């Protein structure tokens, strides 16, 4: 039972900042687990995040569709450099250009998802650098730490993004409830 994050937003409308943060934090936990195993998802988007209910009634996130995931420590290449796979508006520049990716590619996509959750807009509308979010689609003020985290995840240069999903999750935990 459940629905994709995309369906949830379509059905429920814009989510609160607290709910968006809690969902993103759970995505970070899933990404951290995958990254520890040397797997980069490469297609994080609302349609690949499934939201169901835990026994206590809270949201429970499952990251789905590892169909184009990349095993970083694989001996044989499963995809070729120059081959572009993924969903365009959720891809970091290095992935869109067919260059090698690492775990920070997933953090870029997470930044896009979180920007969309908070702004209530599709990232397709962004021309150039995404504006720093100060107010959410529900009219709530966005904590400066959260706005800066989203902005950091959306950095074009991968080395300017947070170092890990664990790091992003810790910032999200400090901002809001789990």
CA distance linking residue 178 with residue 176, whole number of Å: 7
Residue 38 falls in which region: left (phi positive, over 0), alpha (psi -120 to 50) or beta = left
CA distance linking residue 88 with residue 109, whole number of Å: 10
Residue 43 known to be catalytic: yes
At residue 174, the 3 state secondary structure works out as helix
DSSP string, 14-66: SPPHHHHHHHHHHHHHHHHHHHHTTEE-S--SGGGEEEEE-TTS-EEEEE---
Task: Return phi, psi of residue 130, to 5°.
Answer: -65, 135
Task: Return phi, psi of residue 166, to 5°.
Answer: -60, -45
One of 11, 43, 56, 59 is an active-site residue; which one? 43
CA distance linking residue 178 with residue 172, whole number of Å: 9
CA distance linking residue 46 with residue 59, whole number of Å: 15
Catalytic residues: 43
């Amino acid at each position: 039972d459940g629905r994709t994050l995309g369906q949830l937003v379509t059905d429920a409308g814009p989510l609160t900042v607290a709910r968006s943060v809690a969902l993103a934090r759970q995505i970070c936990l899933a990404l951290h687990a995958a990254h520890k195993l040397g797997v980069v998802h490469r297609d994080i988007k609302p349609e690949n995040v499934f939201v169901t209910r835990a026994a206590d009634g809270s949201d429970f996130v499952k990251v789905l569709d590892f169909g184009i995931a990349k095993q970083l420590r694989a001996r044989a290449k499963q995809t070729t450099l120059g081959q572009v796979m993924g969903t365009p508006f959720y891809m970091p520049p290095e992935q869109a250009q067919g260059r090698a990716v690492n775990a920070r590619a997933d953090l870029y996509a997470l930044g896009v998802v979180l920007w969309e959750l908070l702004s209530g807009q599709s990232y397709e509308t962004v021309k150039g650098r995404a504006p720093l979010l100060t107010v959410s689609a529900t009219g709530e003020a966005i904590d400066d730490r959260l706005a800066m985290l989203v902005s950091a995840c959306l950095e074009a240069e991968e080395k300017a993004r947070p170092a890990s999903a664990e790091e992003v999750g810790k910032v999200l935990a400090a901002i809001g409830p789990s």
